[in-house]
Structure 1
């Protein structure tokens, strides 16, 4: 099939997370769609946050943040945290909060998986800033762990697609990574 030029919009589905931080001593959460692994060892994650967002102040202030993976059951609260600013709205009571060893990275008890991160590097870009954090602690509900591995259908994560601005849930299993393509390997 012939390819057509479609512009430079975003066509990669993105995991939806809630980034938590303290701003002026108050817990704040923001919905973020630009989040990915950044390094394997030590484990690091990056979150791209618009330069105008209030959450950036908290990360700069405390040098910590959390990454919380909401399930689809938290869709309404997750979307709410993305449409109201912590600068004008107190979001500290939207979720039940707990802390790990960092003490300034508020995590969401209702999320099946949470990570507390120590800021390692900040990369300023024209419209966004990439916050790279080393994962200092990872926490999960026991029900989402099977055979000491994450059970993603049980986690029930959300994904964001743009430019249609829609949330999606995990699809069906398609195959095993680093295995499905082995039949195409030829010996030389």
Structure 2
């Protein structure tokens, strides 16, 4: 099924003649999204780490983050058990380790040996020293979905490498985060700077 848009220009807004194609309901977000490594603890096991792409900020104050994890993963058990977890943002230099953490299960493999680990305020939220940005989170809500749990956690602490700042603010080019696009399952890195958010569109307010 095709839906066609008519080319026009209204109130200074650009309109292009283009066709839309129906692609079904199971749609992944095509633009690259940040890849993270979620850290958890399990009883009598080393800290566990899982590659997670479904991550988003969920609230401003208090700051909260939401992560989607399949129910079969050991990390889901760890978060449910201890009510804490970490979210680590690897740089492109950790592409191999990051990919590996999504290939093997913490139920059978010790993935903690890949990283230098540290802790903040939460004792069961292991963080990765090798990642330029790390967050420790306290679980506030679990949403039970058909295949996944959506874990929402309050960010209790955030840590960053000193060399990732420019002018006192985190610099995405220095962080050089690892990005993921779907459904092609490909890794990317940050590209060209286009403009400042909340500023570039102000001319249209007139």
TM-score (norm 2): 0.88
In 2: Cα distance, 1:134 partner to 1:116 partner: 8
Deviation string, structure 1 residues 83-138 (Cα, Å, up to 9, x no partner): 00000111121101000011110000000000000111111111111111100100
Q: Is the 8 A contact 1:69 1:113 kept in 2?
A: yes
Instruction: Find the residue that maps to 1:68 and give its secondary structure.
Output: strand
In 2: Cα distance, 1:80 partner to 1:34 partner: 17
- Higher mean C-alpha displacement, 9-18 vs 21-30: 9-18
In 2: Cα distance, 1:148 partner to 1:85 partner: 38
- 1:78 aligns to 2:98 (yes or no): yes
1:6 positional shift:
2.1
TM-score (norm 1): 0.96
Q: Is the 8 A contact 1:9 1:162 kept in 2?
A: no
Residue matched to 2:54? 34
1:15 positional shift:
1.2
Deviation string, structure 1 residues 20-62 (Cα, Å, up to 9, x no partner): 0101142000000000001000011011001111100111111
1:169 positional shift:
0.8
Runs of 4+ residues over 3 Å off in structure 1: none
1:68 positional shift:
0.3
- 1:144 aligns to 2:175 (yes or no): no
Structure 2: runs of 5+ lacking an equivalent: 1-17
Residue-pair matches, total:
186
Alignment RMSD (CA, Å): 1.0
Instruction: Find the residue that maps to 1:56 and give its secondary structure.
Output: helix
What are the equivalent positions in structure 2 for 1:9-158 lying under 5 Å apart? Answer: 9-12=27-30, 13-25=32-44, 26-158=46-178
